[in-house]
Amino acid sequence: MTEPRRKRGAARTSNRGPTAIPQLPLRRVTNPYPPMAMLSADQIEAIHEASMHILENFGIEVMSPRALSLFDKAGAKVDHASMTVRIDRGMIDEALKTTRSSYRLTPRNPARAVHLGGNTINFTLVAGPPNVHDMERGRRAGNLRDYCDLTRLAQHFNCIHMLGNQVCAPVELPANSRHLDTYFANLTLTDKSFHVSAIGRGRALDGIEMMAISRGLTLDEMRDDPGVTTIISVNSPRRFDEMMAEGLMTMAEFGQSVAVTPFTLMGAMSPVTLAGALAQQNAEALFGVVLTQLVRPGAPVMYGAFTSNVDMKSGAPAFGTPENTKANIASGQLARRYGLPYRTTPGSASNAADAQGAYETLMALWGAVLGHGNLVYHAAGWQEGGLTASFEKFIIDVEMIQHMMEFLRPIEVNEAELAVEALGAVPTGGHFFGEPHTLERYATAFYQPMLSNWQNYEAWQEAGGLDTTARATRLWKKALEDHVEPTMDISAREALEAYVARRKEAIGPGEP
């Protein structure tokens, strides 16, 4: 009796055959529970006051003449020689009056709209690694083929709501124009919103224009209906370089979303204490928020946070640490203090898609969820401290994200759910397997994992004895086989192809 049962169990969970990978349906994910308050109201105000002191007395270096001019005209104290800007709390208060507590990004498929703010939570594909890895081909430099495959995976899984900036860098393409190739891949292989590169004005504007083309809109129409976002990475401590400042101003000018995100690694780019790092992060983020509103009052902007720590023995960045998790929660409190949507990140320093990679990522993911993050950036595929995009880690992360989505679904309590009639029908010492209440719900009662293996040991061995990472390899390969490219109007595709060709010719060997 046990032998046939073991075989059926092995066949049922081996991920072989035509059966689709189980996944949650497309839906807007909300966090219905109160955000965790790790800091008291007095502590939040103490961090706020420290941030005001930094901005009013120490200032921020801004390496952009155009940005310096904007601050100058707005009444900030600008030292053009040192490119240092000091702003007072009055200027911050005025800027916050025109920011929005929530807004929406609309891609070419309106059903994939990304809602930012309130209790909505969104998850994105990893962004920016120079390398890519899978268990069959090993670690290698980023390239367009892998870029496209990872983008296809992002389209395939509903829990990935948006793409980040270049899931891996296609290093075989010219650095000054490869953003055009990646934007084109984003827009044709998916129908989701994406992050544009804001390294200077040209790259940002190309992303805005290409999204507008895909939606059949003019740039003026896109101003009031944003479709893309970017991350402005502050060169902590207290520096906005020219390219980041120009990218920020371009995005704000055209009404597109900006997440101002200081990269504050405690012990390296910020004080070794969490309170000090949060004060610095807060000052740098608010400074960028002010700049968006000086360019265009009402421009959509997010409070970004990426505070973690370094290994004090080596100086290497660490992620998914207890300090990182606490920072994710505390930063959410600061974002709500200013009425801004909140961008945060899980992460791991692990060099492999292994247990360390999972527990560090999940630790930081809990911080993002408890802190009520609205945009969870780098949510799927991050490996090696962000230096590698991993196919297996992508699958593991998708599983964790889906677990979190189901955790966030509220418990229903009603007559049917209480199941009192079923409880009375089953005798003491009996079971509920054959009870009508169970049979009516057995297919949908519980979350169905795509990666976990619940076989007994013998059945698991018979099915190949694959561990989580090996099963993840099978799953990403199957997802690529099952991927269906979203349809695009032929005229829109031709217009995008023409735009890319025209811009590559215009850019030539120079910068965009």
Residue range 297-318, pLDDT digits in tens: 999 999 999 999 999 999 999 9
List CB contacts of 182: < 8 A, sequence separation 6 or more: 144, 147, 166, 170
Q: DSSP characters for 40-51?
A: -HHHHHHHHHHH
* Residue 18: predicted pLDDT: 60
Q: How far apart are the first and last CA of the chain?
A: 69
Distances in whole angstroms, Cα of residue 422 to Cα of each of 42, 151, 282, 339: 51, 47, 54, 47
* Residue 329: predicted pLDDT: 98
What is the signed CA dihedral for 395, 399, 404, 409, rounded to 10 degrees? 130
Closest CA relative to residue 132, chosen from 393, 328, 310: 393
Distances in whole angstroms, Cα of residue 77 to Cα of each of 50, 61, 68, 241: 19, 12, 10, 18
pLDDT in tens, 112-127: 999 999 999 999 999 9
3-state per-residue secondary structure call for 233-251:
EECCCCEECHHHHHHHHHH
What is the signed CA dihedral for 452, 405, 333, 339, rounded to 10 degrees? 150
3-state secondary structure of 462: helix
Cα separation, 267 vs 282, whole angstroms: 17
Stretches where the chain sits below pLDDT 50 are 1-17
Q: What are the phi and psi torsion angles at 263 (to 5°)?
A: -105, 85
Answer for the pair 468, 396: CB distance below 8 angstroms, yes or no.
yes
* Residue 19: predicted pLDDT: 83
* Residue 281: predicted pLDDT: 98
* Residue 14: predicted pLDDT: 39
Exposure pattern of 7-24 as b/e (b: 16+ CB <10 Å)? eebbeebbbeeeeebebb
Answer for the pair 239, 60: CB distance below 8 angstroms, yes or no.
yes
Cα separation, 364 vs 371, whole angstroms: 10
The radius of gyration of the chain from alpha carbons, rounded to an integer in Å, stands at 24
Answer for the pair 50, 89: CB distance below 8 angstroms, yes or no.
no
Distances in whole angstroms, Cα of residue 388 to Cα of each of 126, 128, 134, 143, 382: 9, 8, 10, 12, 7
User: Can you tell me which residue has the tokens 């974002």?
Assistant: 335
